Structure 1
Amino acid sequence: MLKTFALSLGILAAAGPALAQTAATAAELCDKGQVVTVRFNELTPGGTFDGFKAAASANQKFYRDRGINGNVQLVGRAMVRDAKTGTWSFSPNGVSTAHINSPMVRVDSNDPAWKAFVAQYDANSKVTAIQTLCYMPAIDETATIMSEIKRLEQVWVDKALSGDAAGLGAILDDSYMSYGKSKPETKADLLASTADPKKKPKAVSISDVTVRVEDNLAFAQGVWTETDSAGKVIRLSFLDIWKQDRRGAWKAIVSQVGPVGP
């Protein structure tokens, strides 16, 4: 594993002059990203994962006690996949820390607090590899997300018009709630209404749709225009809140509707 890791770093080093930059500090070199120091460790025969986590907590506290607050430490366990069954399990010994925005400052190695957490690490693990990396900001997918949410809003229209409750249910979270009508509606309420032939609209459209994205939430606003079976036109303003699940799919979790003035 270490040989492969070193080979990968060698490929990066040979990528050409474009990567050959220098700076006085890691933070200066990585001025457009985040400095992350990754350590790969193996638990020693007497070491435990809990002991390793305690060492990382003491390490973090060391910096906090000295007014350094911009860094974050993640503690992880290596995972392995069984080639025969395809199942995953935790490695019995592989552990790691990822130190985000790790402080590149000189510390007194004789400081008792420093010695204490280093001793905790040493009592539970040994380092097998260390690499400091510069991670660039995440790729901005705002435009793609906005387009996807607008597409889903149109899917909502199409499913409502066709009475396709199952299709509509696929884009609603199980916790979905709608507010603003005579009483709150759950996902089950909305799907039952959609499937009811007596409530099937003659026409549905949306207009003036705008989308705002914040982290894993998207907020869609617009006007819903519906012509019911009796020919009555209903116009409602809507705010739909969408959330991205762990698989990357967007599901509506909350709607707020209200009348639109003449």
Structure 2
Amino acid sequence: MFKEFMIGLGAMAAAGSAMAQSAPTADALCAKGEIVTVRFNELTPAGSFDGFNAAAVANQKYYRDKGITRNVQLVGRAMVRDTATGTWSFSDKRVSTAHVNPPSGRADTNDSAWKAFVAQFDANSTVTAQQMFCYTPAIDETATIVAEIKKFEQVWADTAAAGNAAGLGALLDDSYISYGKAKPETKADLLASTADPKKRPASVKISDVTVKVDGGYAFAQGVWTETAKDGKVTVLSFFDVWKQNRDGAWKAMVSQVGPVSP
């Protein structure tokens, strides 16, 4: 949902032909997309961003207490660039909320919990603009990501066989940890082992690699066959969790390895 929403922010979801369509309800009009209500607010003289955020939290709790779970609310602050210095800072006044999949119909405005969070919003901000959007699903990049992760898994095997600790390190997040051996291995542990000529294998082969993608995460599993310099063969199953960073780069976060029975 979040990935679709963020991609949708870059373009109008309703194309020209769709703009002319009509329907009895917003849900019906946006049946193939996601409804997002975007509000722009200005903080009151006595208001604060913390107070504004607390009102949004109370708003979300109101829906959760009513058993409504599909909606999600995002709270933001406007970012302002100083043209003289090129630096960025948060606006002192401008804030916003984006309500993804807002519940259909109005809630009971006489409900004390409803009145409470509305009062919090009113005490901290005033609405300057509001618009409801229909965001289309994000472009499906699953096939591209699967191919990329499989390529990284092969690079992992190649760098391990070559003793290329720097190359392997580029694939791993700094928080990386591996489970399945006598004790968990950190990124530093694995890179030290990779760089040690005494521990370097004669060859490494991976096979049966499959990848599942879920938003900004990818889950890869496969078989790791390692042949030592003395000819001993070790076969392990592996399961790697990859996460996409803000800049789009994929890094391995966690691994689980185990022996493969003959």
Q: Structure 1-normalised TM-score?
A: 0.82
Match of 1:98 in 2: 98
Match of 2:142 in 1: 142
1:119-158 matched pairs, under 5 angstroms: 119-158=119-158
Moved more, 60-69 or 202-211: 60-69
* SS across alignment from 1:255: strand
Q: After TM superposition, give the deviation of residue 105 of structure 1 in Å.
A: 1.5
Match of 1:80 in 2: 80
Moved more, 25-34 or 134-143: 134-143
Q: After TM superposition, give the deviation of residue 37 of structure 1 in Å.
A: 1.0
Which residue identity is paired with 2:256?
A: Q
Q: What are structure 1's unaligned runs of at least 5 residues? A: 1-11
Provide the rounded CA distance (Å) in 1 between the counterparts of 2:202 and 2:127. Answer: 68
1:106-255 matched pairs, under 5 angstroms: 106=106, 117-255=117-255
Which residue identity is paired with 1:97?
A: T
* SS across alignment from 1:85: coil
Moved more, 16-25 or 45-54: 45-54
* Distance 1:87-1:143 versus aligned 2 partners, 3 A rule: same
Provide the rounded CA distance (Å) in 2 between the counterparts of 1:124 and 1:33. Answer: 32
Task: Quote the RMSD (CA, aligned, Å).
Answer: 2.8
1:207-250 Cα shifts (integer Å, max 9, x gaps): 11111223333222222222222233332222222222333222
Which residue identity is paired with 2:235?
A: R
The count of corresponding residues between Structure 1 and Structure 2 is: 252
Provide the rounded CA distance (Å) in 1 between the counterparts of 2:116 and 2:256. Answer: 54
Conserved 8 A contact 1:240-1:256: yes
Which residue identity is paired with 2:246?
A: R
* SS across alignment from 1:121: helix
* Distance 1:183-1:28 versus aligned 2 partners, 3 A rule: same
Provide the rounded CA distance (Å) in 1 between the counterparts of 2:233 and 2:133. Answer: 59
Conserved 8 A contact 1:199-1:229: no
Provide the rounded CA distance (Å) in 1 between the counterparts of 2:138 and 2:15. Answer: 22
Q: Structure 2-normalised TM-score?
A: 0.82
Which residue identity is paired with 2:125?
A: S
* Distance 1:216-1:113 versus aligned 2 partners, 3 A rule: closer
Q: After TM superposition, give the deviation of residue 63 of structure 1 in Å.
A: 4.5
* SS across alignment from 1:230: coil
Q: After TM superposition, give the deviation of residue 116 of structure 1 in Å.
A: 5.0
Provide the rounded CA distance (Å) in 1 between the counterparts of 2:169 and 2:136. Answer: 37
Which residue identity is paired with 1:259?
A: P
Q: What are structure 2's unaligned runs of at least 5 residues? A: 1-11
